[in-house]
Structure 1
Amino acid sequence: MTELRLVELSAETIVAVNNLSLKPGQEQFLAPVSYGIAATVLDPSSTWQRVVIGDEGVVGFISASFGGETTIDYLDSVLWRINVDADDQRRGVGRFAVTALLEEARSRGFDHVNVIYEAGEGGPEAFFHRVGFTPVGETEYGEVVAQIRL
């Protein structure tokens, strides 16, 4: 993969984002993209959604929120979703997207970013560890809360 860039989620990119493919078994760790997109409607000022564009079009999607109207500490600066097309996984797309997210968090004055995930074989845990997230707790549902300090 040569050059990657980020663009805002738009009418031109949403269909391609919804059609990103997964590797077998990954679907159990991912809510439908429409759930994440709905967050923009609920609280557009705190939601950050970007599409990763590669040489041949859309290769990934990342969604996060900052601040907003939450009283739950681990949701104040949180990565909600990262999808990388199955054919483009392990090619730097996810790392590129997370790096951009961390830059956005810094620019908004945050000193950390959290992520919430379900542990399990074939899940995102290894990726989150590789890019620097460290487990710091769990949700009331038993999901892992991991964090990168900025």
Structure 2
Amino acid sequence: MSTTPLRLVPVTADNLDAACAISVRPDQQHLVSPVVKSLAEAYVHPDVAWPRLIVDGDEPVGFVMAFLDIAWNPAVDPADIRSGIWRLNISAAHQAKGYGRFAVRAVTDELRRRGTEHAYVTYDTGPGSPEPFYAGLGFRPTGELSGDQVVASAPLT
């Protein structure tokens, strides 16, 4: 990491190409969708998507997208409103340098600022799973599944 503070910045016309160029390692590509898909999802879900480029100095090193205030399962419990990490992509060349931890902490700080009490994330299990990464940041499985992914949460209070 550089001595310049890390920051999250909105994805704009000026940095769109840099955001789309963020790519995880080949062995991780089955675990996380590419940034371009995230941006398409953000476009069609503008009320709940919070996409941000992770920048170190002037260099884009990753992408994170939060989801904000989604009714998790409205047919079962319409009051179960959740926010959390929707997508996290750290460029293959920049992994294991603390950028992912920074991004998750920055998102959870934003959620806390918005009054959220728990952050959520979903992930695949198996070889290469980000489960240990999220567990190290305080996320614990809830016992739920979202499709075939584990749902985990971390308290923000």
TM-score over 0.5 (shorter chain): yes
Identity %: 37
Q: Which runs of 5+ in 1 are unaligned?
A: none
TM-score by length of 2: 0.85
8 Å Cα contact 2:23/2:34 also seen in 1: no
Q: Which runs of 5+ in 2 are unaligned?
A: none
Q: Which residue pairs with 1:131 in the alignment?
A: 137
Q: 1:131 to 1:112 in 2, by over 3 A?
A: same
Amino acid at match of 2:111: A
8 Å Cα contact 2:63/2:88 also seen in 1: yes
Number of residues of Structure 1 aligned to a counterpart in Structure 2: 150
Distance apart, 1:117 and its partner CA? 0.7
- Give the alignment's Cα RMSD to 1 decimal: 2.0
Q: Which residue pairs with 1:113 in the alignment?
A: 119
TM-score by length of 1: 0.88
Distance 2:72 2:146 in 1: 15
Which structure has more strand as a fraction of its residues?
2
Q: Which residue pairs with 1:41 in the alignment?
A: 43
Q: Which residue pairs with 2:11 in the alignment?
A: 9
Distance 2:13 2:57 in 1: 20
TM superposition outliers: structure 1 runs of 4+ over 3 Å? 68-75
Distance 1:33 1:137 in 2: 28
Distance 1:42 1:24 in 2: 27
